Structure 1
């Protein structure tokens, strides 16, 4: 879990991770946290 990140920072990190094609496990971790917080997943695509 990433409790120290605000929702907006989490979403920004997710978008940046996708854009920079970072490690899939890292992107999945961010995606899981977004879903846990019941946020809309930006640029949702199969990872």
Structure 2
């Protein structure tokens, strides 16, 4: 859980992680938190 990140920062971190091709497990963790907060997951193929 990443309670200290605002929704906007979480989404920015997810987009950056995809763009920078960071470790899949890190991207999964971010995506899981986005879904837990019931936010819209950005399209991965855009990055």
4+ aligned runs moved over 2 Å, structure 1: none
The answer for unaligned runs of 5 or more in structure 1 is: none
RMSD: 1.0
- Whichever structure has more helix as a proportion of its residues is 2
> What TM-score does the superposition give when structure 2 sets the normalisation length?
0.91
Aligned residues: 45
For structure 2, list consecutive stretches of 5 or more residues without a partner in the other structure. none
Aligned to 2:2: 2
